[in-house]
Amino acid sequence: MKKIVMKFGGTSVATGENVRHVANIVSNTAKNGYGLVVVVSALEGVTDELFEAASQAQKAKQDYIQKFKQSILDRHVSVIRKAIKAKQINREIRKTIEGIIDELEKVLTGISYVGELTPKSRDYVLSFGERLSAPIVCGAIRDLKLQSQWFTGKDAGIVTDSNFGQADPLMNFTTHQLKERIEPLLGKHVIPVVSGYIAATQEGIVTTLGRGGSDYTATILAAALSVDEVWIWTDVDGLMTADPKTIPEARMLPELSYQEAAEMAIFGAKAMHPRALEPIIREKIPARIRNVFNPENPGTLISSDQTPKKTDAVKAVALIRDVAMINVGGAGMVGAPGSYARVLDVLSRSGVNVMMISAAVSEANISLVVRRNLLGRALSALEIAVLGKGLVSEVTSEDDVCVVAAMGAKMKGTLGVASRVFTAVANKGINIRMIAQGSSELNISFVVKEEDCVAVVRAIHEEFKLGKN
C-alpha cells in the first residue's frame, strides 16, 4: 500500500463547502488504495484572530473575550453545519467544538486576570485554531462513511524543544511515538487527522512550530512514518515563478530540487514553511504542492532527482514585504575587530533575527534587514548597547522597504545574471537600497522602496521570460 501524508492549508478549509470538498479529495484518494494521514491548518484567518485575542485579553478586555468567544463559535458551527450532514456526527462534533471553545475562554480569562502574555501562554492560545479544525475535518470524512480519528499534534506524539513560537521537533522521540500511535491506524483503514502547527514539550506543554507550521507537521509525519510522498494542498497550482496574487502571469514550476524549493520557501514564497523540507530531505521523500480547487493538476514535484531542463538561470522571483532596513555606521567600526559581531550579538540577544546583511569595504557601515514588527525592538537594543559607545555613532532605519529575491540553482556559475537583474531594475528608473548575494549563489536579493516592489518583481519576471507566453 502506497502511503501519503496530505496537508490542507487554511484556505482549503475556510468554509463548510471547502471542508466537504477536502473530505471528498481524501475519500477519493483513499478509495484509490492509498494509506493516508491527513494534516490540517486552522480555518483561514483563525490563527490571526487568536493572536489578536491573546493581546486583547492581556489588556483585560472581558467584553472582548465574550464577543470573541461567540464569533469563533458561530464561525465553526456554521462550517460544521455545511460540512457534516449526518445528524449524529454533526451533534457529536459540535459538542466537541463547544467544549474546546469553553477551554479557550478560560485561558483568555486567565490571561486577562494575570495581565501577562508570555510566549508560552500565547502558544497555548494559538493552538486552538488547529484544535478546532481537526475534529471538523475528521467529522466530514466520517460523514462520507470512512473511518477517521483526530489528534492534536501533542496527542499524535510530536514532541519539541521549548522554543515557544518557533519550536523544533525532537525527531527521535517523535518518530518513536508517531510510529506507535499513528502508523497502526493505516493498517486498520482508519484515517488519522492530525492538527498541524502544534505540538508539545516533553513535559506536555503546548508549543507551536512557527507561522505556516502545518507544512512542517506534515513533513515531520512523513519522515517518521517513511511515507511515499507528501502532498501539500493549497489554493494555487503549485510553486510558481512569482506569487500569482502579485504577478497574474506567473507560471507553475512542474519540478524543483529540494534546494531550490527550500530557497524559495526561505525567501518568502509563502506556499511553504521554510523548515518544512528538512525532515523529508533526510529521508528523500518527494513532496507535491497541489491545488485543492484544481485537483486534476499534478502540481509541483519537489524531489532530489531532477531531469536537467533548459531553463534560464533565474527560475523564480520572490517578494518579502513587512521588512525594515537598519543602517549602522561609525568611524569607530573601521579596523575594530569584532565590531560586526558586536552589532549582531546585540540583535540576537534581543531576539531579532537578521534576514539579510551587507557591509561596505570601508567597514564604516553595515546594513541589516529585519522583520518590520521587530524594528522597534532592534533599534532600542542597538541604542542601549552600542550607540555612542565609541563603536557606532549613527543608527538609522527605513520601514517602507521590501526585499526582492531572484533565485534559481543554475545561477551558480552563470555569468552576467546579476547585471541582467540590476539592469532590468535600473531601466524602470528604480533605485536599489541594498544588495546581498549569498555565497551559495542560489539567489540575489536586494532592497527597494515598497512603492516600487511590484514593478521590480515584474521587471525581473519579464527579463528572464518567466511568465506564460
How far apart CA 343 and CA 326 sit, in angstroms, is 11
Q: Which residue has its beta carbon closest to ligand ADP? A: 9
Report the partner that residue 47 touches, choosing among ligand ASP, Mg ion, ligand ADP, none (CB closer than 5 to 8 A by kind): ligand ASP
End-to-end CA distance of the chain: 41
The contact pattern for Mg ion, residues 205-244, with x = CB under 5 A and - = no contact, is -------x--------------------------------
Question: Which residues have C-beta within 8 Å of that of residue 235, sequence separation ≥ 6?
Answer: 9, 11, 12, 291, 292, 293
**Quick one: 121 or 358, whose CB is closer to ligand ASP?**
121
Does position 95 interact with ligand ADP (CB under 6 A)? The reply is no
Report the partner that residue 196 touches, choosing among ligand ADP, Mg ion, ligand ASP, none (CB closer than 5 to 8 A by kind): ligand ASP
Q: Of these, 16, 35, 153, 213, which contacts ligand ASP (CB under 6 A)?
A: 213
Q: Of these, 11, 12, 41, 201, which contacts ligand ASP (CB under 6 A)?
A: 41
Least Å distance, CB 7 to ligand ASP, is: 8
Q: Of these, 12, 18, 27, 47, which contacts ligand ASP (CB under 6 A)?
A: 47
Does position 214 interact with ligand ASP (CB under 6 A)? The reply is yes
The x, y and z cell numbers of residue 293, run together, are 480547487
Q: Of these, 169, 212, 274, 408, which contacts ligand ASP (CB under 6 A)?
A: 212
How far apart CA 317 and CA 457 sit, in angstroms, is 6
Does position 212 interact with ligand ADP (CB under 6 A)? The reply is yes
Least Å distance, CB 251 to ligand ASP, is: 25
CB 437 within 8 A of CB 418: yes
Look at residue 305 and give its three-state secondary structure. Answer: coil
The x, y and z cell numbers of residue 21, run together, are 470538498
Residue 141 identity: I
Closest CA to 266 of 186, 212, 220: 212
Secondary element (H or E) of residue 426:
helix 417-426
**Quick one: 97 or 466, whose CB is closer to ligand ASP?**
97
How far apart CA 193 and CA 130 sit, in angstroms, is 11
Q: Which stretch binds ligand ADP (CB under 6 A): 140-148, 150-158, 232-240, 430-438?
A: 232-240
Least Å distance, CB 10 to ligand ASP, is: 5
Does position 12 interact with ligand ASP (CB under 6 A)? The reply is no
Of residues 291-330, which lie at the interface with ligand ADP (CB under 6 A)? 316
Question: Which residues have C-beta within 8 Å of that of residue 363, sequence separation ≥ 6?
Answer: 333, 334, 335, 336, 339
Residue 187 identity: G
Judged by CB under 6 A, how many residues of this single chain contact ligand ADP?
A: 20
Burial environment of residue 214 by CB neighbours within 10 A (0 to 12, 13 to 18, 19 or more): buried
The x, y and z cell numbers of residue 408, run together, are 534559481
443 phi/psi in degrees, rounded to 5: -150, 155
353 phi/psi in degrees, rounded to 5: -85, 130
Does position 211 interact with ligand ADP (CB under 6 A)? The reply is no
Closest CA to 198 of 149, 119, 128, 137: 128
Does position 303 interact with ligand ASP (CB under 6 A)? The reply is no
Least Å distance, CB 64 to Mg ion, is: 27
Q: Which residues, listed in sequence order, are joined to residue 465 by a DSSP beta bridge?
A: none
Of residues 240-269, which lie at the interface with ligand ADP (CB under 6 A)? 240, 242-245, 264, 269
Residues in contact with ligand ADP by CB under 6 A are: 9-12, 41, 212, 234-236, 239-240, 242-245, 264, 269-271, 316
Residues in contact with ligand ASP by CB under 6 A are: 9-10, 41-42, 47, 129, 196-197, 211-214
